[in-house]
Amino acid sequence: MKVTRYFALSFIACAMTMLASFAYADNYPSRPITIVIPYGAGGTTDISARQIASMAEKVLGQPIVVENKPGGSGTIAMNAVAGAKPDGYTLIATTSSPSFVTPALRPVGYDTLTDFTPVMNYSGPYHGVLVKADSPYKTLEDLIQAAKSGTRITYGTAGAMGGAHLAFTAVAQESGGKLQHVPFKGSAKATAAVLGGHVDVSLVPAYRDLVKDGQLRLLAILDGTPDSDFPDVRTLKKAGYNVEFPSIVGILAPAGTDSAIVSKLEKVFTDVAGSDEFKAFMAKLSQPVRIMSGAELKQTIATNLEAYRKLAKKMGQGN
């Protein structure tokens, strides 16, 4: 009798907890939400996050404020959000570098798999190896040959110890070329640097219009698959280098965020990302729409975190 009563009370307690959670989610959000961007303004992550936020806030009925917090290849922003109150009012639009690349290389102050709850993924931009249109380097082979012959080649990325940095570190090691990294706070500044002639090459996304307008030349693709806009441009792997940079743009919440709130956010952002309006916006930005559920995003992060740890160990680095 006592056992039956115990289970009955436990059932009632669980039911009440679930009802309270759903009621809380029904009232959510009751004030503005903040999405932190781990890079400076003007880059592809910033632009796409502002667009999906502006569309999602219309559905949620509360403003979504976008806050740029660049630095540390995105780890400064990740630490800030990992330590935020898990109430659904602080999120981050993260990318590959702070999610699984940099954490594989050095201590970052957070664990992506345990300190965050993945909400969903909405993109994963291609990253190109780009030089100015008037550069003497017509192909990736030209660039690497110059680096191997002793020419000092500088390359810019969106931050130190990011995926692009690691990819070209691997290229330098495999080729024996002299490639010097110059980190910037975001891809927009790295793009401006190669356009201004401050670096020889930049590894950045959002290059389509600049290439088609004749301002930049695309030498290779960092990602594992070719860019459909430039099908004749090889990936690093096709060019003979055992490296690739898988790309994500996903929304994470602090660990411990109410599951009903996470589910609500996942549905809203997924519906927005799948809309014709958002797809058209991303097409103009020359960025793919790659939708993953929160569970799929978590698995992607876990898989790539392990892969980058193995790559880092092979390169004599790693955490």
Same domain, 57 and 18: yes
Q: Are residues 32 and 108 in the same domain?
A: yes
Kindly report, residue by residue over 9-32, the tens digit of the pLDDT.
Answer: 555 655 555 555 455 578 999 999
User: Would you state the pLDDT for residue 311?
Assistant: 77
Which pair of structure tokens corresponds to residue 27? Answer: 């009232």
Considering its fold, how many domains does the chain have in total?
Answer: 2
Q: Same domain, yes or no, for 79 and 209?
A: no
Give the sheet arrangement for strand 33-37, strand by strand. Answer: 64-68, 33-37, 90-95, 249-254, 116-123, 289-293
Nearest Cα to Cα of residue 70 among 167, 186, 155: 186
**Same domain as 155, residue 113:** no
Q: Would you state the pLDDT for residue 73? A: 83
Average pLDDT, integer, range 152-157: 96
Edge-to-edge strand order for the sheet containing 216-221?
A: 179-183, 153-157, 201-204, 128-132, 216-221
Look at residue 234 and tell me if it is in a domain.
no
Residue 230 lies in a domain: no
Does one domain contain both 119 and 15? yes
Share of the chain above pLDDT 70, in %: 91
- The pLDDT score that the predictor gives to residue 11 is 58
Instruction: Determine the pLDDT at residue 13.
Output: 54
In this predicted structure, what is the pLDDT of residue 236? 94
How confident is the model at residue 160, as a pLDDT?
A: 80
3-state secondary structure of 84: coil
Domain that holds residue 134: 128-221
Confidence band of 56 (pLDDT split at 50, 70, 90): very high
Torsion sign across C-alpha atoms 172, 226, 306, 121: positive
Specify whether 21 is located in the same domain as 101: yes
Question: pLDDT: is 163 or 318 the higher one?
Answer: 163
Give me the pLDDT at residue 5, please.
60
- Give me the mean pLDDT over the 204-219 stretch: 94
Task: Let me know if residue 241 belongs to a domain.
Answer: no
Res 125: pLDDT: 85
The one-letter amino acid code at 74 reads G
pLDDT in tens, 294-311: 999 999 999 989 988 887
Q: What does the pLDDT look like over 75-112, one tens digit per residue?
A: 999 999 999 999 999 999 999 989 999 899 889 999 99
The confidence score (pLDDT) of residue 271 equals 98
Instruction: Tell me if 288 sits within 8 A of 205, measured CB to CB.
Output: no
pLDDT confidence of 247, banded at 50, 70, 90?
Answer: confident
Average pLDDT rounded to a whole number, residues 129-157: 96
Residue range 109-123: mean pLDDT, rounded: 98
Q: Determine, yes or no, domain membership for 104.
A: yes
The confidence score (pLDDT) of residue 10 equals: 58
pLDDT on residue 92: 98
Residues 210 and 254 in one domain: no
The amino acid present at 62, given as its one-letter code, is: Q
Are 164 and 67 found together in one domain? no
Q: Which residue has the higher pLDDT, 246 or 113?
A: 113
Terminal CA-to-CA distance of the chain, rounded, Å? 55
Q: What CATH number does residue 181 fall under?
A: 3.40.190.10
Res 2 pLDDT > 80: no
Q: Is 315 helix (H, G, I), strand (E, B) or coil?
A: coil
pLDDT of 4: 59
| Structure-block tokens of residue 67 | 């806050």
Specify if 233 maps to a domain: no
Judge whether residue 7 has pLDDT over 70. no
| Residue 155 pLDDT | 97
CATH number at residue 49: 3.40.190.150
DSSP for 119-171, written as a single string: EEEEE----EEEEETT-S--SHHHHHHHHHTT--EEEEESSTTSHHHHHHHHH
Residue at 170 is within a domain: yes
Predicted model pTM: 0.76
262 and 193 in a common domain: no
> Can you tell me the mean pLDDT for 232-246?
90
Give the rounded percent of residues in the chain with a pLDDT score beyond 90: 71
Tell me, yes or no, whether 111 lies in a domain. yes
Query: Which of the two residues, 165 and 84, has the higher pLDDT score?
Result: 84
Q: At a CB cut-off of 8 Å and minimum separation 6, what does 62 contact?
A: 29, 30, 31, 32, 33
Residue 160 sits in the same domain as residue 87 = no
Asked if 120 and 148 sit in the same domain, the reply is no
Asked whether residue 240 is assigned to any structural domain, the reply reads no
User: Cα separation of 291 and 294, whole Å?
Assistant: 10
Are residues 23 and 112 part of one domain? Answer: yes
> Residue 49 in contact with residue 66, Cβ under 8 Å?
yes
Q: What is the predicted pLDDT for the residue at 8?
A: 57
User: What value does the mean pLDDT take over residues 233-249?
Assistant: 90
- Quote the pLDDT of residue 259: 98
